[in-house]
A and B are shown apart, each in its own frame.
Chain A
Amino acid sequence: MTELQAEQAAVVPRAEVGSQRSRYTDVLIALAAFAVLAILPMFISSKALLDFVIRCSAFGLFATSLNLLVGYTGMVSFGHGMFFGLGAYGFGLIMQRTGLPVPVAFVATLIITTLIAAVIGAICVRLKEIYFAFVTLAFQMLIHSTILSWVSLTGGDQGLRGGIPRPTFFGVDLSNHVHLYVVSCGLLVIGLLLMRQIAQSPFGYTLRMIRDNATRASFIGIDVWRAKLTIFVLAALFASTGGIIMALFVSGAYPEFAYWTISGEGIFINMLGGVTTFLGPMVGTLLLLILNDTVTRLTEYYGIVLGIVILFFAIGLRKGLMDFVVEWYARRRAGTGERS
């Protein structure tokens, strides 16, 4: 357990509001959210807004999956973006070279991601804290370098050119912007529901135990390595789905999708939104994309502004926005020590 996590653990009451909510309630909330998102284009015709939600879907899935590692398991990966890139390139290449139906290419991409994540994870999850972070970063740079140098397959630094074919399936035409928007929202909602289920399952509590005290977890019979590898692969699948949405959105894949800065943005999103609440990374995604779109319009010194924002959250609040809000609310509601 890191110093920061220990400090957060000691804060009472714990910020996991609604953690015991039933699966059916979660499904209902998800359906309602999807319904609201799906009918949005009927009332607002802004293409920029639809674009924004599609990007939120891609990065939201990516950031929330990263939080399964960082917030729930205590594994800070600096290389999670490699799976975002793998998703984008894998899907793009399959569509360009095989002409398979979109759903088949989607599943095939996830299978490829699973295999690669299992190999990389088997090596990385044995390592502790900073070593895990650095080795995941090294793998990300390896994949990025491979993309750059394997020009005949990936297009090198130009990325996958010529667009990604998006043949119609089940009446869904992903070259239609609204269709793409609805599918992205659907993938986001399903992805979040599945990740929520993971977080609230017995396995989710196994991850919390490993985060808190991996040694003790092994002394109650938990195979820590296997549990870490499992969540590493599962998180990779959701990150890969985010990459697929991004590839569909830009109709291509670019080396930047697999660059370390994507992982950095994932960490940044988690810092902004918070890691102790399930929806923290989604809030962080919204904040980052709004910041990104606003600040880049106003100044070219985008990095400086983001740096100041990070400092505000890290030094000022000492936690993400959702952590801060939920903790404040829980303190008001319950007093100290007990959680009802």
Chain B
Amino acid sequence: MLEIRSLSKSFGGVKATDNVTLDFADGSLTAVIGPNGAGKSTFFNLITGALKPDSGQILLNGVDMAGRSPPEIVRHGIGRAFQVASIFPSLTVEETMLAAVCADQRRASVLHRRFPLAETRDRAEHAMELLGLASKRNRIAATLSHGDQKLLDIALALVLDPKVLLLDEPTAGMGTEERWRMIDKVRELWETQKITVVFIEHDMDIVFKIAPEIVVLCYGRILATGTPDAIRRNEAVIEAYLGTEHHAGAAI
């Protein structure tokens, strides 16, 4: 279980994350939404160690992650994918997966053997199959389409066997069809892998369709949490973010 307790982070006078307290149950799927500048990415950066919080706790199964380095946090089981696909452009898809498994198995510093290590193949293969990248294994990452690069980014996080997977706008920069394919894949991963998934998304149709739980951030604070129906009906959320298009009446 991922528990966020009174998490705060300021940049100068701007409170990017302001006393946020949240629980993400094991195996849950939660969308984090909010207007631009709401602090969604900062929230992810704090959880994954890219930023150090000013105060508060990030408890993963009771162990505080706050202030730890990204490699430490990854090893405890929090993986992430980025808004702009963060990959290794000169490696092939397969090399990327194999090298990531090496890192996860603490074999990234092995000097006396040749890459790839036989014992890393199964997990790498599994991740490529899961994300539909097996047929592109020999493609150099830089030459993949935008959608495949995003999938590779997610595969990089997933191959590490995380307990919690954070996806920062998995559909960013995609066309309508590609968006739905991606989000179906995210849902499929959540259902089959039984991991906790938290994702940031701007497309409300997607959010309301697949997320059983939604967190709304605004100016670094939690504006509301709840089911899609509850969020649709929440006046504060309608006023601050949704407008009239996605409120309960419009949905009916």
Contacts and interface: CB of A to CB of B under 8 A. Distances in A.
Nearest to A21: B114
A13 interface: yes
B87 A14 contact: no
Interface string A95-117: 00000000000000000000000
Contacts of B80: 219
Given A202-B107, A202-B117, A337-B143, A1 B89 contact: yes
B10 interface: no
B100 interface: yes
B86 A23 contact: no
The residue in A5, A205, A226 that gathers the most chain B C-beta atoms within 10 A of its C-beta is A205
A66 interface: no
B73 to A, nearest CB: 9
A22 interface: yes
A84 B10 CA distance: 47
Contacts of B98: 205
Contact of A203 (B87, B91, B111, B142): B111
Interface string A210-230: 011101111111110011001
Given A202-B99, A205-B99, A213 B86 contact: yes
Contacts of B58: none
Given A201-B112, A212-B91, 17 more contacts: A6-B89, A9-B89, A9-B142, A12-B143, A201-B115, A204-B115, A205-B95, A206-B99, A208-B88, A209-B103, A215-B50, A216-B82, A216-B86, A221-B74, A222-B103, A337-B139, A338-B138
Give the 10 A-B residue pairs with the shortest CB-CB distance, closest first: A9-B90, A212-B88, A9-B89, A221-B74, A206-B108, A216-B86, A202-B110, A205-B99, A218-B70, A202-B102
13 contacts: A1-B89, A9-B140, A197-B114, A202-B116, A203-B109, A208-B99, A209-B103, A215-B50, A219-B71, A219-B79, A220-B74, A220-B156, A221-B71
